[in-house]
Amino acid sequence: MTVTYSSKVANATFFGFHRLLCKWRGSIYKLLYREFLVFAGFYTAISLVYRLLLTGAQKRYFEKLSIYCDRYAEQIPVTFVLGFYVTLVVNRWWNQFVNLPWPDRLMLLISSSVHGRDEHGRLLRRTLMRYVNLTSLLIFRSVSTAVYKRFPTMDHVVEAGFMTADERKLFDHLKSPHLKYWVPFIWFGNLAAKARKEGRIRDSVDLQSLMTEMNRYRSWCSLLFGYDWVGIPLVYTQVVTLAVYTFFFACLIGRQFLDPTKGYAGHDLDLYVPVFTLLQFFFYAGWLKVAEQLINPFGEDDDDFETNWCIDRNLQVSLLAVDEMHMSLPKMKRDIYWDDSAARPPYTLAAADYCIPSFLGSTVQMTPPQPSQGAKRESGA
């Protein structure tokens, strides 16, 4: 389930984000604690071997190796490579969210444009809307593991009511080596054209609007399929991953605390616990984990998109809009501001501070400049 915390940060307060640091689900701690423990364990093991098991000559060789690793590890451009990669992944993640297929515009057009309160008119509207939802279900099945687990076969799609048995036969009879998510689009277009001939859609402009909106919906579905097909190039992902893990592999040796009596530069203290190296691992490896979680938002991570909820919500809302709400209008009455030319809704005591005067421009509080004495004499003349 998507982790929502917007209400916790609605207002900027002193240490406002500290409450978020205590959450576990969807947190960086949950993502990273295994890798963090492995890194700390390897570092501790190497430190114990250096301090307790190596002989004098072996210690001198290890110390030279540690200085060498520490010197050249900084030449790996981890910050640049990882920062650009995460930016690319986050932009891709947000674009996929804003292009999720929502049927709200289509259900509005179908409810207002496809007329008839009889059984056939109701069947026509519900069938058109079902084709819309079937299309999104077929796309989600192909890109989302959670949806595929819910509808692993087309039999499950039929049992759920998104497709009839006859439609399933036509769907299976159509031989195509490609994903057939577009088939309900064709059914939708043919059925809409038939409705226009029968007079259920009374104007060709309404039919054109309906098909234009359906094409927009098709574009959203196609875009999600394209994102699933063409990901971030594998070579880039490999380079970033190798850069991060190579850097911290070098840190396992290069960030060891060496014998202070040997006088090595930068090794005046022996603190045993590499606090800043552990923090660096937490930040860099955590950054990589962020990219790992967001690169495919249709999985089953804590912050992945709730595609099964989208399917349920879209079906329930759209069928309600085109069936029970078709031509169902509340009785019109005069509003309470009928004779009030300056309507102003009331404020509660809790919201009284938000009652502010209208903004009239930044110069409204300025004092007009006074004319000079010379200007006054000229004016009097």
- Tell me what pLDDT residue 1 has: 60
Widest CA span in the chain: 107
- Tell me the pTM: 0.85
Phi then psi for residue 214, to 5 deg, are -65, -35
User: Is 201 strand, coil or helix?
Assistant: strand
Chain position carrying tokens 């515009």 = 105
Token readout for 166 is 């006859």
User: Is residue 157 within 8 Å of residue 180, measured between CB atoms?
Assistant: no
Amino acid 2: pLDDT? 73
* Helix, strand, coil % over all residues of the chain, rounded to 5: 65, 0, 35
Query: What is the per-residue pLDDT for 369?
Result: 78
Q: What per-residue confidence (pLDDT) applies to 83? A: 93
Q: CA 139, CA 179: separation in Å to the nearest integer?
A: 9
Contact 43, 252 (CB under 8 A): yes
3-state secondary structure of 291: helix
Cβ-contact 158, 164 below 8 angstroms: yes
H helices, E strands: number in the chain: 14, 0
Range list of H helices, 255-344: 275-294, 307-322
The confidence score (pLDDT) of residue 373 equals: 65
* Coil, helix or strand at residue 114: strand
- Is residue 291 within 8 A of residue 32, CB to CB? The reply is no
pLDDT digit string (tens) for the chain, length 381 residues: 677 777 777 777 777 787 788 888 888 889 899 999 999 999 999 999 999 999 999 999 999 999 999 999 989 999 999 999 999 999 999 999 999 999 999 999 999 999 998 999 999 999 999 999 999 999 999 999 999 999 999 999 999 999 999 999 999 999 999 999 999 999 999 999 999 999 999 999 999 999 999 999 999 999 999 999 999 999 999 999 999 999 999 999 999 999 888 888 888 888 899 999 999 999 999 999 999 999 999 998 888 999 999 999 999 999 999 999 888 888 999 999 998 888 889 999 999 888 888 888 888 888 887 776 665 566 555
Q: Determine the Cα–Cα distance for residues 146 and 148; give it in Å rounded to an integer.
A: 5
The answer to whether the beta carbons of residues 147 and 141 sit under 8 Å apart is: yes
First to last CA, the chain: 81
Distance CA 343, CA 345 (A): 7
Q: How far apart are CA 220 and CA 214, in angstroms?
A: 10
CB 159 within 8 A of CB 153: no
Strand partners, 114: 201
pLDDT at 377: 62
Quick one: which of 135, 131, 274 has its CA closest to 191? 131
Q: Give the span between the Cα atoms of 344 and 337, in whole angstroms.
A: 9
284, 78 contact by CB (below 8 A):
yes
Read out DSSP for 17-56?
A: TTTGGG--TT-HHHHHHHHHHHHHHHHHHHHHIIIII--H
